[in-house]
Structure 1
Amino acid sequence: MFSHIILGARDLAALAAFYDPVLAALGLQRMPDEDDGGPAGVGWQLPGQRLPQFFVQLPFNGQPASAGNGTQVSFLAASREQVDAAWAAALAAGGVDEGAPGVRPRYAADYYGAYCRDPEGNKLCVVCWG
């Protein structure tokens, strides 16, 4: 399990607007804005849970953010309907299709996932098992 994931942002407002509906479809909510002394960022988490957390943030080193080749963030969904809803929200919010929702038997017989890229090119997966 992870504590938190941070993706670098070039346009923080645009990425926050993209992730709000995508993560809401998975039951995550935006965290209150806090000034922790670092660069500006926006975070989401499940209601009533401290961890895990997901953030988009301006890079600490001040350099432009870039998508990682071979990097993917995968979000666990509770159902196939959540996978479908998150993927649809991603495309409606400006994401790019990288694989429509469906069973991926090459991974596992019960693997149901969908893939997209956010507006800055980060690859995302939404998956449920079972």
Structure 2
Amino acid sequence: MFDHVVFGTSDYAASKAFFLKALEPIGMAVVSEGSLGIELSADGKTSLCIRRIEEKPAHLHLAFVAQNRQQVDAFHRAALEAGGKDNGAPGLRPNYSGKYYAAFVIGPDGHNIEVVCHESES
């Protein structure tokens, strides 16, 4: 299990705005912000840290856990509203598992951002 994940962004303001809006449905919020960048967390135990860098970063695939399918749907809507590019609408992914419900969006630096729920529909 990760304690934190750190990655760089070439457009800090755009990435900050995108991640704050896109990940709000799963409870992610600002823990701290300073000269290095911003730290987000939903549980106070693990965090996502976005750092200012000059060069374009390598593309990442970041997947976040949702508590229910409604959070996956809300993430997808919020991420698109925040300027993300659709990379897979919310839905079951039976090629992964019978309960794998996820949505995918490409963020400002080309990162593939996913939110997934492993619970049955309720």
TM-score of the pair, normalised by structure 2:
0.90
CA–CA distance in structure 2, aligned partners of residues 34 and 13 of structure 1: 13
Which residue of the partner structure matches residue 3 of structure 2?
3
Equivalent position of 1:74 in the other structure: 63
Moved over 3 A (4+): none
| Root mean square deviation, CA, Å | 1.4
Q: Give, as a single letter, the amino acid of the residue that structure 2 aligns with 1:43.
A: E
1:58 aligns with 2:47: no
Amino acid at match of 1:80: R
Correspondence for 1:27: 27
Contact 1:72–1:124, Cα closer than 8 Å, also in 2: yes
Q: Residue 72 of structure 2 is aligned with which of 71, 77, 83? A: 83
1:32 partner SS: strand
Unaligned runs of 5+ residues in structure 2 are: none
SS of residue in 2 equivalent to 1:25: helix
Deviation of the 1:33 alpha carbon: 2.0
User: Percent of aligned pairs with the same residue?
Assistant: 35
The equivalent residue for 1:103 is: 92
Count residues in correspondence: 119
In the TM superposition, residue 24 of structure 1 has moved relative to its aligned partner by: 1.1
Instruction: With the length of structure 1 as denominator, give the TM-score of the two structures.
Output: 0.85
In the other structure, the counterpart of 2:82 is 93
1:74-99 Cα deviation digits (max 9, x unpaired) = 00000100000011111100001100
